[in-house]
Amino acid sequence: MQYRTLGHTGLSVSTLAYGASPLGGVFGNINEAEGIRTVHAALDQGINLIDCSPYYGLTQAETVLGKALKSVPRDRYLLSTKAGRYGSEARDFDMSETRIRRSLDESLERLGVEYVDLFFLHDIEFVDLGIVLNESLPCLEQLKREGRIRYYGVTGYPLKPFREVVRQFDIDCLLTYCRYALHDTSLTSLLPELDDKGVGVINASPTAMGLLTERGAPDWHPCSDALKARARKAVAYCREQGVDITQLAMQFATQHSSIPTTLVGTANPANIDKNIRWMEKPIDQALVAEVQALLDGTDSVWSSGLAVNND
């Protein structure tokens, strides 16, 4: 396993990080014991950053993760969780100071720890950015001073809110998904500014929420039908070349030097082994170019959250 420094935090994070959302049954029912074994397998093979949220499985993921970490020394892992999103509807977002503080208390109890290394506002594009800038982020700064969190940042899909936050507030890190992958590399437009300010980047969903997998995009996937069709062609083309497109997607996502770590989620220990083996193989740059050409289009981005917060 390789490690990189996460921005100005100085934290050394594994190139592959563990996304714990599957522990909440986000992608289907799980066996809790197997999920716990998956966490242990990730740690045993050098993955040292684990990301979760109360939103995943409506607290189930944090609960299962807490059980998995109960027997693990605290200095063996870096732990990330979030606040602000608690469901799929507009009413399920609350980034007020009162709710953030209560959310942290609840998460710490479920996870069985006294602090988290990284604490994020979850999907900021769904709320008024005035609240984020004037109430939510100052609250996180105060929690950092209190020693209840070590570092903090924001997560989301559109890049526009990130630009506003980074220009107006000194955050430690940023978690982005689906914006540096084979189908869309638009995150690169923001990376120079993030590098200059020392903001650590965590990349998630290298397979674009299942789009770049043999199984294909789930029915709820927000991308266009045209992009789904192009993705199916790309999957088939990789198969013809004897390569699993998920391997290529993960290799591509983890090779950028300005992106210290990429989250991969699974509740199956065998998938951890497979993912790490894939990372040890050299990437086929010619195949990358061919797949990107198949995926290319003007509709690689979809809307998320409030219209005013979209790119």
Spelled out in words, what is the top-level CATH class assigned to the domain 3-309?
alpha beta
Residue 62 and residue 69 in contact, taking contact as beta carbons nearer than 8 Å: no
Pair of tokens at residue 56: 């995943």
Over the stretch 170-181, which tens digit does the pLDDT of each residue have? 999 999 999 999
Closest CA to 67 of 41, 37, 45, 105: 37
Catalytically annotated residues: 56
pLDDT for 246: 95
d(CA 125, CA 160): 9
Q: For the chain, what are the domain ranges?
A: 3-309
Average pLDDT for the chain:
96
Averaged pLDDT, 180-201: 97
pTM of the predicted structure, to 2 decimals: 0.96
For residues 24-33, b (16+ Cβ closer than 10 Å) or e, as one string? bbbeeebeee
Asked whether the predicted pLDDT for residue 250 surpasses 90, the reply is: yes
The residue with greater pLDDT, 26 or 13, is 13
Q: At what angle do helices 245-254 and 285-295 cross, to 10 degrees?
A: 100
Asked whether the predicted pLDDT for residue 19 surpasses 80, the reply is: yes
Asked whether the predicted pLDDT for residue 311 surpasses 90, the reply is: no
pLDDT for 280: 87
Over the stretch 202-213, which tens digit does the pLDDT of each residue have? 999 999 999 999
The residue with greater pLDDT, 29 or 175, is 175
Residue with tokens 């988290």: 116
For residues 232-263, b (16+ Cβ closer than 10 Å) or e, as one string? eebbebbeeeebbbbbbbbbbbbebeebbbbb
Asked whether the predicted pLDDT for residue 219 surpasses 90, the reply is: no
Over the stretch 290-306, which tens digit does the pLDDT of each residue have? 999 999 999 999 999 99
Asked whether the predicted pLDDT for residue 94 surpasses 90, the reply is: yes
Over the stretch 31-79, which tens digit does the pLDDT of each residue have? 999 999 999 999 999 999 999 999 999 999 999 999 999 999 999 999 9
Provide the residue type at 257 as one letter. Answer: S
196: confidence class by pLDDT, cuts 50, 70, 90? very high
Pair of tokens at residue 131: 């609240």
Asked whether the predicted pLDDT for residue 182 surpasses 90, the reply is: yes
By CB neighbour count within 10 A (0-12 exposed, 13-18 middle, 19+ buried), where does 268 fall?
Answer: middle
Asked whether the predicted pLDDT for residue 26 surpasses 80, the reply is: no
Asked whether the predicted pLDDT for residue 285 surpasses 90, the reply is: yes
Percent of the chain exceeding pLDDT 90 equals: 95
